[in-house]
Amino acid sequence: MPAATRLLASVALGALTTPLDLLLVLAALLRPKALTRPAGALAGWHLRRLRLDDDLGAGSPGQVREQVRRYLAMRWPVGLLGAIVLALLLVGLATAAQLAWAWSRGEAVDGMHLSPGLGAYVAVGGFVLLFLNVCGIVGVHALDTELARRRLGPASTEALQRRIAELAHTRSAMLAAVDSERRRIERDLHDGLQQHLVALAMLIGRSRRPSSDPALLAQAHQQAQQALAELREVAWRIYPSGLDSLGLADALQGMAERTPLPVTIRCDLGTRPPRAVEAAAYFVASEAITNAVKHAGATHLTIDVTTHTAPQNGTARVHVTIRDDGRGGADPSGTGLSGLAGRVAALDGAFHLSSPAGGPTTITAVLPCA
pLDDT over 60 at 311, yes or no: no
Neighbouring residues of 337: CB distance < 8 A, sequence distance ≥ 6: 287, 291, 330, 331, 353, 363
pLDDT value at residue 154: 61
Q: Distance from first CA to last CA of the chain, Å, rounded?
A: 24
The residue-averaged pLDDT of 259-281 equals 83
Average pLDDT over residues 195-210: 75
pLDDT at site 206: 74
Amino acid letter at 322? Answer: I
Determine the pLDDT at residue 157: 63
* pLDDT the model gives residue 312: 56
Return the percentage of the chain with pLDDT > 70, whole number.
79
What value does the mean pLDDT take over residues 87-116?
A: 82
Using the predicted structure, report yes or no on whether residue 163 has a pLDDT greater than 80: no
Q: Which residues pair with 304 in a beta bridge?
A: 266, 321
Q: Which of 56-60, 258-262, 319-323 has the lowest mean pLDDT?
A: 56-60
Model confidence band, residue 83 (pLDDT cutoffs 50, 70, 90): very high
pLDDT at residue 352 tops 80:
yes
In this prediction, residue 131 carries a pLDDT of 92
Question: Cα separation of 341 and 332, whole Å?
Answer: 9
Cβ–Cβ < 8 Å for 252, 265: yes
Q: Is the pLDDT of residue 57 over 60?
A: no
CATH of region 247-370: 3.30.565.10
Phi, psi of 234 (to 5 degrees): -65, -40
253: pLDDT strictly greater than 80 = yes
Pairing of strands 316-324, 361-368: antiparallel
pLDDT value of position 299? 83
- Three-state secondary structure call for residue 320: strand
Q: List the beta bridge partners of residue 317.
A: 308, 368
Tell me the pLDDT band of 85, cut-offs 50, 70 and 90.
very high
Quote the CA–CA distance of 244 and 325 in Å, as a whole number: 31
pLDDT band (50, 70, 90) for residue 108: confident
Residue 326 pLDDT: 81
Residue 155 has pLDDT above 60, yes or no: no
Query: What percent of the chain stands above pLDDT 90?
Result: 8
DSSP-assigned letter for residue 334 = S
pLDDT at 238: 66
- Domain ranges for the chain, please list them: 3-153, 160-238, 247-370
| pLDDT at residue number 232 | 67
Yes or no: say if 347 and 280 are a contact pair by the CB < 8 Å rule: yes
Query: What is the reported pTM?
Result: 0.53
